[in-house]
Amino acid sequence: MTSLFDTSQLGDLRLPNRVVMAPMTRARATPEGLATPAMAAYYAQRATAGLIVSEAVQPSRIGQANPGTPGLHTDEQVASWRPVTAAVHTNGGRIFAQIMHGGRVSHPDTTGLQPVAPSAIPFSGAVYTPSGSLPVPMPRALDTSEVPEHARSYALAARRALDAGFDGVELHGANGYLISQFLSSNANLRTDRYGGSVANRIRFVVEAVTATVEAVGGARTGVRLSPGATFYGVQESDTPQLYAALLAELARLPLAYVHLVATTDEELLLGLRRAWPGLLIMNPAVPMGAKQVGRGEAEHWLGLGADLISFGRSFLANPDLVERLRTGLPIAPMNEAHYYEGGDQGYLTYPAFQHTA
């Protein structure tokens, strides 16, 4: 059986193990969306992962979801990321940038702009802003002529990511953000070629991924998906058909990987594993759930055919997670109070395991 600590080939990269650090928002960037020295230290501490996927990075000002998140749409942002990627590489790691357009998950207090979405339908709840948690605003439905521009924004950010020293990019197609909104059957009520049928609802993500592959190459492009997830109010009435059709289209492209989140039942996920002919990263944990994934869940999914396993929360409090998994050391719990509060506490202050005599 494949081991979590076997090497693996990912595009042009040789990974020393099959442990992936999953993308996680930490809200430590500057108000201008610049990466910081603390972020360089944070990622460098975790460079023993076979692959790091960065926190979500907005491809445009209007694509920003939350305050404190970094961007890749200005020259200054690109320059700020170079010390981060250099620190990871100096410590022997590999890092992809996750590119995320928030769509309707945004607020004018954060961006100065009205959020855009497939349809003018807000979700129920609140969003984080520089002023605190505020009611969700009404998004503006994109005109048909505007949609390709937002699909191309992922490709433009991908070019900037490589210029910043990233080894590749992952398009965030999960968890209720813009790509997920287009896939949805309740957030996307369009009647043009981007809405209605399954073939139309997958069109946006296929165009975004295709543009990114053309910009930086398939070996440097991955995509993350959360089948059946209901984050930020999205629903999918036809999840099996939707993702089977999407993977069939993506299989025409030479992608580095598809990254699935365990947001639906195992039977459906196994069907998607069989439908996807390429490399699969599996995240066994539900985003924003309570459970930290360990070696048992990882080995379970490796046995079911996943190629790499991504760990999110377990990496927060365990910068040496790979070694803890390898040697059976306990996985330290994280402190949720420090997730998004800024500063180094709960960010750079988690130690490697301390052996005692």
277 token code pair: 């002919």
Domain residue ranges of the chain, discontinuous segments joined by +: 8-338
**Where do runs of H (alpha helix) occur along the chain?**
37-45, 75-90, 108-111, 147-163, 178-183, 198-201, 203-216, 239-250, 266-275, 295-303, 313-316, 321-327
* CB-based contact 158:213 (threshold 8 Å): no
Look at strands 126-129 and 116-117 and give their pairing.
Answer: unpaired
* Number of C-beta neighbours around residue 148 at 10 A: 15
89 token code pair: 């590489």
Q: What is the pLDDT of residues 57-73, one digit of tens each?
A: 999 999 999 999 999 99
* CB-based contact 120:114 (threshold 8 Å): no
Kindly state the greatest CA–CA separation across the chain: 68
More confident residue, 217 or 355: 217
- Residue 335 has a pLDDT of 81
Query: What are the backbone angles phi and psi of residue 93, rounded to the nearest 5°?
Result: -100, 180
Q: What is the pLDDT of residues 123-170, one digit of tens each?
A: 999 999 999 999 999 999 999 999 999 999 999 999 999 999 999 999
Q: Distance between CA atoms of 69 and 104, rounded to whole angstroms?
A: 16
Q: What is the pLDDT of residues 297-344, one digit of tens each?
A: 999 999 999 999 999 999 999 999 999 999 999 999 888 888 887 889
347 assigned to active site:
no
Determine which one of 42, 177, 232, 347 is catalytic. Answer: 177
Query: What are the backbone angles phi and psi of residue 183, rounded to the nearest 5°?
Result: -70, -25
In the predicted model, what is the mean pLDDT of the chain? 95
* CB-based contact 56:72 (threshold 8 Å): no
- Residue 200 has a pLDDT of 98
Query: What are the backbone angles phi and psi of residue 350, rounded to the nearest 5°?
Result: -80, 125
Query: What are the backbone angles phi and psi of residue 60, rounded to the nearest 5°?
Result: -160, 165
How is domain 8-338 classified at the architecture level of CATH?
Answer: Alpha-Beta Barrel (3.20)
Q: What is the pLDDT of residues 178-207, one digit of tens each?
A: 999 999 999 999 999 999 999 999 999 999
Q: How far is CA 201 from the centre of its chain?
A: 20
104 token code pair: 């309707």
Burial status of residue 55 (CB atoms within 10 A of its CB: 0-12, 13-18, 19 or more) = buried
Q: What is the pLDDT of residues 215-230, one digit of tens each?
A: 999 999 999 999 999 9
